[in-house]
Amino acid sequence: MSEKLKMKTIKTERLLISPSTKENYRDLQRIADILTEYADRGDCMPFYSVYEPKTTADRQKAYQERLTAYFRKMIDEQQKGDKQIFYSWAVSLNATNEVIGFFRIEYIKDPETDSCNADLGYFLNPEHFGKGYAFEAAHALLGHFFENNDAIEATFHPDNARSKNLLEKLRGKFVKVKETSRYGGEQRILYRISRLDFLHGQKTH
């Protein structure tokens, strides 16, 4: 059982999880800027899809180009219909309408098996860490995803304890340590969440 996703808006007790739109660019810019500031101080992990090291020549220009490319991918993919492989949602607070982060599910081809696997990713404004928002949003999205799919994967930096804890709370299990060309050959930890494990976790909470 495996089907591509249908984009939908999901409301939880505290959050609104809605498909990303062109109007979300300023939200993306704001949160990426905050994440970069925190990462530069060593207070959180970088948002690797757009982060540029301090040593990068013309760092601001390179960072802006990566940010724009990422946003274009978020929006352009929504126009591809049945060929869409990248799905993105903005996560906002019901109480204030503030966008506090983004989640994405992307179908990525595994060069080792030639299969196409669903991959979960997210980034959150670090000013809202520690409030359970990441779990609340991820749990709601996976509930939607597992209506028609059996498994999803996620990778994270070995030092990213927050992502490790989140995935284990979602009933994710360790698969392997892998090197990925997406991050310059750096090592990442691969976890897998199965539909059965996820649903079992719902019953035990």
pLDDT tens digit string along 111-130?
Answer: 677 678 999 999 999 999 99
Q: Is residue 5 part of a domain?
A: no
Q: Is residue 159 in a domain?
A: yes
Model-level pTM?
Answer: 0.91
Position 3 in a domain: no
Query: Could you tell me the CATH number of the domain that includes residue 33?
Result: 3.40.630.30
Predicted confidence band of residue 1 (pLDDT cuts 50, 70, 90): very low
In a domain, 4, yes or no: no
Would 88 be classed as within a structural domain? yes
The two structure tokens encoding residue 85: 């492989």
Residues of the domain holding 70: 10-203
Is the confidence at residue 2, as pLDDT, over 70? Answer: no
- In a domain, residue 154? The reply is yes
* Any domain includes 57: yes
Distance CA 136, CA 133 (A): 5
Give the span between the Cα atoms of 80 and 106, in whole angstroms.
13
Question: How many CB atoms lie under 10 A from the CB of residue 76?
Answer: 11
pLDDT recorded at residue 83: 82
- Domain membership flag for residue 35: yes
Banded model confidence at residue 103, pLDDT cuts 50, 70, 90: very high
pLDDT digits (tens, 9 = 90+) for 47-60: 999 999 999 999 99
Please give the span between the terminal C-alpha atoms of the chain, in angstroms, as a whole number.
Answer: 26
Number of domains in the chain: 1
